[in-house]
Structure 1
Amino acid sequence: LDQYTSADAAQLRDWFVLRGLAIASIKRNFGSIKAVVNFVVLEQGLTCNNPFNGVYLHSDNSSKKRRPIATNNLKAIQAKCLELDDDLRHLVSLISDTGMRLSEATGLMKSDINLDCDYPHIVITPYPHRSLKTLSSERIVPLVGQSLWAAKRIIGTSTSVYSFPRYTSSSRCNANSASAAINKWIKTVADSDAVIHGLRHSFRDRLRAVEAPSEVIDQLGGWSLKTVGQGYGDGYSVEILSKWLEKIVI
């Protein structure tokens, strides 16, 4: 441990940034690393300093922009996606009716898309090129409405094993670049403060509006479990989840 320096810690921070992690996610990672190093130092009676303490991470104000996208704006976005019908619009469409995080969708493999079944769905699982935010993030999400259209177009148009090879390779998933391109475009179609993450907020509100149980909402969005009881059992089936998602298609 005494071989690590603050420069190494800064290099790790920069690597996380290049991987497309949000500042909040980087802070969580550094928090875990610092805790592990501190534990080893104390347990082993070491005298070295923890080089991961005090690494500069700038403030993340993006959460202030993350407002739900209004229904009229969502309709306009989805309609324009159908018209333009390219990979960037497939990405937006996929997120619009699944509530996926941008990094989850951007790093999706084509093999994660299952269309030849009673209830078409995607499997969200971690990969070397794209990790997941929480344990609850690993999940199955049914495909309905615009997201089902997008999934079919991805399978029909992408010649890569990746759903979005423009932003994803075996070594990285550049969700930051995708976010910049999408947010710039969305502002030409919807309100000036609209951003891609707003689709995820809208997704939760749309499920609330049809009185979906909170456990269904959390399972679909990969949100962390709120109670111990939610961790028992296998959760809702893809059939039940699909029925709830059908209710929010606009």
Structure 2
Amino acid sequence: MARETKNLTRLPSGIFQVEFNLPADINALTGMRTWRKSTKTRDPKEAARIRDEIMVGWRQEIERLRNPSVEERLEKLIRVPSDWPGTQQEFIRDLVAAPGDDDGPPSLAALLRNYVGIVRGMHGAAQVMHELAGVPFKGSAWKEFFAQAEQLIVLADAGDSLVSKLMVVPAAQKAEHDPNKSVPITVALTTWKKNEHPTKATASAYEVMVRRFVEANGDLSVSEISRQHVRLFRDKVEEQVRSAGTVKNMLSKLSALLNWAWKEGYRDDIKPVKGVQPTKNANAPKKKRPFNADDINRVHGYLAKAYKPEDDRYWLFTAALLSGLRAEELCTLRTCDVREEFGVWCFDINRENGKFVKNDASVRLVPVHKQLIDLGFLKHHARTSSTGRLFPTLQPDNDGRYSGYWLNQINHVFHKSLGFGSDKSFHSTRHAFQDQLRNAEVELTVRDRLFGHTEGFGLDEGRRKRAATSYGDGHYIAVLNEGLQKVAYPGVDWSVLSERTGQQEL
């Protein structure tokens, strides 16, 4: 079945279309990346038959383009004189006619002699100009040209068929020395970003992947990347992350980039990544578990000792715990993103100013929890208002993420200082928040909206999105606020933070 549908694409109308990605040398000659032609049928078997006929014609055309006749090459170089009574094709045909035919235009040999004479004049003028300007004149390239031109004239005089072979040499050399085949992977990445316009987050992820590939193999041209290079890349990633999920993700991105490079003519195949898997030593990613009340009390005790309320890092954990915001959503907030909406203080999660948002469902308003306000969070908001950013001391990492350095720091604290296992990290705040929404029996679509998930995605029937959720503008902010304020975290001692913030003056 796969063979029957190769090079066939079914259009929305149901009609099949034949598609063929052109090799790099044909791409350069035609200026086209892909040939397409409709089969004008919806029948797969009939489309496959028509496809085979079309592909035969295309292969013949590729062969003709790669090995043009003397006439075809001359047609691109020489235009028929305005006073010539015949067609362009007739003029070219007479031009290369056998010696002794005086009815046609001047012979090819005569034209070549005339052209070489013009070039010799240019050569002499160039030499004089160099001498006048005091610049050394290098005539080696000119000498090589004149030697080859004289050879062509001799062959043209004799009507030798080798003229045809000599005239297709430039095309053959272009195919053999295609500059696409020497493009480094870093340059290919830049071209991919320019042509494909990925989101900032996707581009950043691919930049990380390429940086790790270069660390393992150097800045190789995409045409020479082999399976061995892919294995070295995989081993390098495993040294750094030790997570099978991350390794697979990196391999998938490398495969996608090489697949794109193949379509653009930078490589002759797309197979080097296929079959390369994480080694058995790579740890499988573990599902994160939520923080319990004891965990939260321990974290709050650490924060109260390590930071003052004026420090951005004092608020991040508790703000995430009481809002369910993702780390990057929280860390990139601007002070204007914390505002009142119909009398309810909210976090406005948006894409403004280049902020990263995971998907469309993640663009949302999340009410600020009363407990966070009681702890003095709005005082922190007022304190940072002049900076424009809610957490102004956070700086972007190499990938442009404002949460990067903080996550490394707090997760180190969790695992080394507080003794949490690898199944708990800053992301566990979202798991804990979701559990509290469930325990408070908050309605599912409200939970999804607060959490930044597509509404109804957690339902049965194949976890499909309910049709009703695609209508309207969503929940009133009062409804979202009612659901969020039910998050309680029984057993958590908030006084550890309340005592600290209560001593502060704005």
Q: Same-fold call, TM > 0.5?
A: yes
Structure of larger gyration radius: 2
Query: Alignment partner for residue 286 of structure 2, among 60, 64, 67?
Result: 64
Query: Alignment partner for residue 74 of structure 1, among 263, 283, 296?
Result: 296
Deviation at 1:176, TM superposition (A): 1.4
Deviation at 1:30, TM superposition (A): 4.5
Partner-residue secondary structure (3-state), 2:420: coil
Work out the CA distance in 1 between the residues paired with 2:277 and 2:331.
Answer: 24
- 1:175 match: 403
The answer as to 2:372 corresponding to 1:144 is no
Work out the CA distance in 1 between the residues paired with 2:487 and 2:360.
Answer: 26
- 1:162 match: 389
8 A contact 1:73–1:191 mirrored in 2? no
Partner-residue secondary structure (3-state), 1:121: strand
- 2:483 match: 244
Deviation at 1:155, TM superposition (A): 1.3
Percent of counterpart pairs with the same letter?
Answer: 19
Query: Alignment partner for residue 333 of structure 2, among 99, 105, 108?
Result: 108
Q: Which is bigger in relative contact order (C-alpha 8 A, separation at least 6)?
A: 1
8 A contact 1:94–1:146 mirrored in 2? no
Counterpart AA for 1:183: N
Deviation at 1:114, TM superposition (A): 0.8
Question: How many aligned positions are there?
Answer: 242
TM-score, normalising length: structure 1: 0.75
Work out the CA distance in 2 between the residues paired with 1:214 and 1:94.
Answer: 22
8 A contact 2:322–2:369 mirrored in 1? yes
Partner-residue secondary structure (3-state), 1:196: coil
Work out the CA distance in 2 between the residues paired with 1:151 and 1:134.
Answer: 27
- 1:17-166 map, 5 Å: 30=253, 37=260, 41=263, 47-49=265-267, 63-64=285-286, 66-78=288-300, 81=303, 84=307, 85=309, 86-115=311-340, 118-148=343-373, 149=375, 151-158=377-384, 159-166=386-393
Structure 2 unaligned residues grouped into runs of 5+: 1-32, 34-179, 191-202, 212-244, 458-464, 490-506
TM-score, normalising length: structure 2: 0.40
Deviation at 1:146, TM superposition (A): 4.0
RMSD of aligned Cα (Å)? 4.2
Change in 2 beyond 3 A, CA 1:128/1:120: closer
Partner-residue secondary structure (3-state), 1:184: helix
Structure 1 unaligned residues grouped into runs of 5+: none
Change in 2 beyond 3 A, CA 1:182/1:7: same
Partner-residue secondary structure (3-state), 1:167: coil
The superposition leaves residues 108-150 of structure 1 with CA deviations (integer Å, 9 ceiling, x where unpaired) of 1111001485111010012454311111111100001344346
8 A contact 1:96–1:147 mirrored in 2? no
